[in-house]
Amino acid sequence: MDPKILFIDIETFPSLVHVWRMYEDNALDTIEPPLICCFSAKWYGGTHITKALPDYKSKPNDDSKLVKDLWKLANEADILVAHNGKRFDFGKMNARFVKHGLQPPAPYQKVDTREMAKRAFSFEANSLDYLCQYLGLGKKMNTGGYELWQRCMANDPEAWKLMKKYNENDVVMLERLYFALMPWVSNHPNISLYRGKCPRCGSEKIQSRGTARTATRSYHRYQCTDCGGWSRDTAKFAKTTFTNI
């Protein structure tokens, strides 16, 4: 059985707040917390699903229907992949889930490609745009920056089209980055628990590559000929399940 891997990226509107003086004071109160204005998702091996607030014909400050669709996707996933997801996307999604009275989705494993990059490498920067350009995987669309969000908040149809294209392109880059970094990361969810033998990609195409040794034991060591990732047996010199090295 293949794991259901979902690549996800969300876009939010800024918070609306009161302040005494711009640039100098903390917010006095919040008029409107940050809404999820758009999301793009892609199942591994599947097609894109991109939704924005105008798709639901709701009030400009009502993301409830969009959030429910996002919840349904998260509820189906075994593994959710996002860039900077642990500091942004996953928490923001949960905040809107509970806001709209939704129960927690079925538990899924979280993969953050920004953390993957920081853990295994020493890049000059760890943004999605920098990493993808550095690795030749694409680049972010030029949207003009915050002006696009302002135009969307003013309900400009052309701006919403551009927002959805921008969001979808980020997920295309995210998927490419995930597969580029995945063989290098030792703490990736163990795909061999779902299918195959390679704990990273699930491929059956693994070859014996000597011995892995810990402080007290020796294990058979393997390399996947599809993704290049390394693994070892979970029992001493026994072919049982496999785990990352």
pLDDT of 72 higher than 80: yes
| DSSP of 74-93 | HHH-SEEEETTTTTTHHHHH
CA angle (26 as vertex; 24, 31 as ends), nearest 5: 125
68 & 140 share domain: yes
Instruction: Check whether residue 85 and residue 13 sit in a common domain.
Output: yes
Q: What is the pLDDT, as a whole number, of residue 137?
A: 97
Number of domains in the chain: 2
pLDDT tens for residues 225-245? 877 877 777 655 444 556 666
Whether residue 39 is found in the same domain as residue 101: yes
Q: Cα separations (Å) of 164 from 39, 171, 201, 205, 219?
A: 8, 11, 29, 38, 48
Question: In this structure, are 173 and 132 located in the same domain?
Answer: yes
Shared domain check, 118 and 100: yes
Q: What is d(CA 155, CA 7) in angstroms, rounded to the nearest whole number?
A: 27
Query: Is 121 in the same domain as 209?
Result: no
The residue among 169, 184, 199 that closes a domain is 184
Full domain range(s) for residue 200: 191-244
Residue with tokens 């390679």, as numbered in its chain: 198
Place of tokens 């996953």: 90
Domain boundary at 161, 184, 207, which?
184
Residue 197 pLDDT greater than 70, yes or no: yes
Q: How confident is the model at residue 215 (pLDDT cuts 50, 70, 90)?
A: low
Q: Classify 41 as helix, strand or coil.
A: strand
E strand or H helix at 46: none
Are 135 and 49 part of one and the same domain? yes
CATH of the domain at 93: 3.30.420.10
- For residue 63, the surrounding DSSP H or E stretch is none
Tens digit of pLDDT for each residue in 90-132? 999 999 999 999 999 999 999 999 999 999 999 999 999 999 9
